[in-house]
Structure 1
Amino acid sequence: MQSVFMKARASLEAKGVFAHGAVPEAIADSWHRCLSSGLNPLGDPVNAVLSYQELRETRQRNERLIALVRPELELLSNQIAGTNYMTALADGDGVVLDAIMDSEFDASECSSSIRVGSIWREDLRGTNALGLALHTGETSMVTGGEHFFAKHGKVSCVSAPIFDSQGQIVGLLDASSEVAARQFHTQALVSLAATNIENRLFVDEHRGDHIIQFHPREEYLTTQSVGMISADDDGRITGVNRRAGEILQGLELGTVNAFADLFRGGFGAALKPMASGEVIRLVDWLNSTYFARIRMTRRHSGASGAKRAIALSVPAVFSMTNVSDAPVFRDDQVHNSLRLAVRSARLGSPFSIVGAPGTGRTTLAQTVHDELHKDRPLIVVDCRTANALGEAERLMADILGNGDSDAQTFSVRSGGTLLLEQLALIHGGAAEKLAQVTNRLLQLKNGPGWVIISTADAGAARQGDWPSHVKMAFSHLTQMAVHLPALSDRTDFAQIASFILAGISPGHRLSNTALEALKKFKRPQNLKDLTNQLRVLAVQCPVGVIREEHVERHLGQSEIDGQACSRCNGNPAREAKCQEINRVFRQCNSNVALAARKLGVSRNTVYSHIPD
């Protein structure tokens, strides 16, 4: 009798649909993603393999990772040794960098596709353990018929992600065999090996910092299940390992910057006895107790001990549920501007926020308002549209308390924040009304205070047609100015992009290479343009990790429209064909399978002409 799973498998192959409940949830979700990508379970997976030069460059970029993983790979191979097996290391993009296999597996059909340089993302190879672990960030096992492509049905594999101290997947450990029975035992070994590698990477990356090991039970301080946090000499956190995120569950690791944000008692008081070799007790802000010690390390050669605090990525992959609702102000200049703005507001001094369009002027003003008196009114006047005198008179009458009492929702007596956007653009009678109300608010001595904030474009000319009394009134509003840099000049781009994407689609994450690709785009509207680009990526990309090739494919088209790929440049006939393939590819919203069907060519042909 055919099992429920095999019936679902048969339905997938025959009809392209299946009963979701008959398949393990993670596998079912992966099958759905594969179907959405236009893959055919009875077809051929894309034989995606890097060229010799591309593989050489990829291995060079991951040279340190390969060196650290190789001993663990050999140990894992010895632990699962028998017949017909392979262990492999892939990078954070699913490219196999190193592999060890026995002679039987090497002679099998599977070995021809699972080789160094091959790419095992889901959208290319269908459901497989490497691709699934890369997508979910969790240890994954895919056996036989659980693979999307029928051609992969003979092999079973287990894969575990390797995270760095910023919560990004930097590699994947895989064990594959044509003997499915041993994979449940192998899964535990692969997970343990990945943890060992993560801890070795953590220590190697943070040799110049203080590495604090902690655990609720003292005897576990010498095991691989220990939590680790690194901090500089001032107690600023520079990294955490994945186990620390699990132990400190309930504390928002994605938003903390200092040791004191996690534990009571201060960093200096804890460091002194640990530096002497003592095991101490730490108490976190949820009153949980841990044993802790310093892990003694040998600094990298040439290390000078210079401070190098690195803000944790927001959100870290292993603490996605702890994304803060607060905007990101980790750039030094922006953080200083926020500090000065809050200080001015507390003293009742008006100030102006100066920056190019989309640099976050309104967001900064909203943050100041929330910091001081979130429960009071925030009144926003867009001076570009407030030049109609009737509209200005109605608004000012409400603020001054002279309006219709039935409709009035705030008054001068309530206190709050008055935000004047693009103050330099108001003129005529509306400017005089606005000057009248700001004078009134500035003259208040008793009762709830008002914060008056104006915004201006960087480099904008001062308004020249105001009457002298209006100029005098507005001069009080612009004497103090805080400046916001363009997005391209900010040092917290990665945190900003992750924060915005989490608000658009919590199920998506950006890889390090995707962030680097995003940085290269010109954005006249700064954060507005970035938000629009991230919305496009959230719509176009399957839920999971957004990678560099996704950014280039879905956002890079505007820069290459009308151009042929590098392989076709210089040959008029090939250029015309290449441009046609890219035109249809764009019309199909970057769906390779659909474009291939419309053009009557193979998917490989489309892949060879579109941006990498």
Structure 2
Amino acid sequence: MDLQTSALGRARQMLETQGRFPGGALPGDITESWLRSLSHGLDPLARSQRLILSEVEFNATRQTHADLIRFARPELELLYDQIAGSNFMIALGSPDGVVLDTLHDTQFAETEAGAQVIPGSVWSENLRGTNAMGVCIATGRPAQVYGGEHFLRAHGDVSCISAPIFDGAGRLAGVLDASSMSAVRQQHTAALVQMAASSIENSLIRSGHDRRIVLQFHPRPEYLGTLSMGVLVLDEDLTLHAINRRGEMFLTGFPRLLGESFDRIFEQPFAAIQQRLVEGETLRVRDRIGSAVSLRCVANRASFALARRLIPVVTEPGTAPARNLFRDVVIDDPALWQRLQALPDAAKRGAAIAITGETGTGKALIARLAHAASERSGPLVTLDGRMLAEGDFARVCLGSGTEPGLLQQAAGGTLFLDEVTDLPVVAQAALAGVLDIGEYRHPETGAVVRTDLRVVCATSAPAALSDLLPALRYRLEGFRLDLPPLRLRSDLAALAQRFARSVRPDARMTEAALARLAAHDWPGNLHELRAIVLQAMLMRPEGALEAQDFDALLPGAPARPVSSGATCCAQCAGVPWKADQCQNIRTVVARHEGNVSRAARVLGMSRTTIYKHLKDQAS
């Protein structure tokens, strides 16, 4: 038994027999949490109660935190994929400790802990004692609680790791938690949880302020676009409305930030740099303390509208607005770029937009960009067809009691129908009627509610669009945009590098590593690529990523060549890593029907390099 375990055992024995414990025996956060738990009158030997909200209370809580749930869900799925198979569960909590959403493997679900941590359960410190979610809420800091460090002995067989999510105004927006049955300290998992929480926080800030100017900044320009960047939001009067935690760290010399004018924080007046910012430039500016930062503007509805005012004349119609809209997105695939050129104009003209593509191809991102291009004053509101049960349309979409429905929330903005082909038939018919006349009757009061909204829909099953009720389908397909799967895009190398540099700005990948990625089919598309690259980056904190860094993460490591000519060129035969690289290059060329230029873009290699590996295939 090591010293830490021994000290914990003695502390627990005193806690359970005497109601006190020796100071300094435990980590600081655990000590403070045990003291708070005692002050709440909790008994460390009490059985854990099933503290669960009623269905009405839980539905109201989920409605309150709908944006948090929506932006957190992709991160929950990504985090789950990264730690799947290790007896874990992922949970999203509200600022009050209510579990809003979960993902867990079968093993964990069958445990007592799995039966306790379910949507609607409450894990605040005053009710459950020391637990990672409760400690995180109490302190506003990341928390790790292992086994016997829980105040209640009943929770002693679980380890949990939590990270806070803030809203940009200093308020806690939620908590992300990963729990397991392992007592081993999980620093790798802790890093993943904190990265996911930062990503959710940045998404909440950016999406929640689509009508305000959003700026990214960092002392080093290569860190822009990574999770370590600062994000600040400006009100119409150019005062600071919101800022993420990283941004607060970079501007620690100011006594207050929220409500402070941009021109009082930075030396350059905003009016002097606004045109260059909305044109997509990254500028070097100094704050009033004298520290230099690189600054750039996020492409959203506010910046798009500002760009139109500041740049009224465009030499080539549609070019500048499109570039402004897509500047934060990696789109180096010429075919995809060509398809996207018409999107801003279609959105601004109010055309219904239908986006199709496999899961993970970026449909939700394109929907957000279409909303930004529309320049409408209302919000983007999402209705997920997979989550709408039969009979729920009236309550969810039209409203219940004093709560406005999604259609009313989207008035003046955009309604995003995600996985529209999964909508129940009754909901399809009702929605078609609303879109036809622009109004509906409130299901409880009978009052006529008028709603002015634009519609963007998406589906991962494009063939199923024809199965929608004709009355709805004809109102949804004004402008059709098909997103290609990752395996058919020519910018995989650029996307992989972007994901890697979101963790470490100087990250590099060898040609062999890029070839290994390019040879994979990517059924999960961008979601899968991001998950794989982030895991590889965490396992290799420095140096260039090699092909072997992905072998344990991708199914089916490439087979070794069985002869010098069958699977690789003569110059690579006999050297395993060279043979693997050559194999992958040939696979990608074959997948693109011999188009070397396209394969070169996918692989991030020169055509000359690829031709070297194809010499003995020439005839």
TM-score, normalized by length of structure 2?
Answer: 0.48
TM-score, normalized by length of structure 1?
Answer: 0.48
Structure 1 or 2, whichever has the larger Rg, is 1
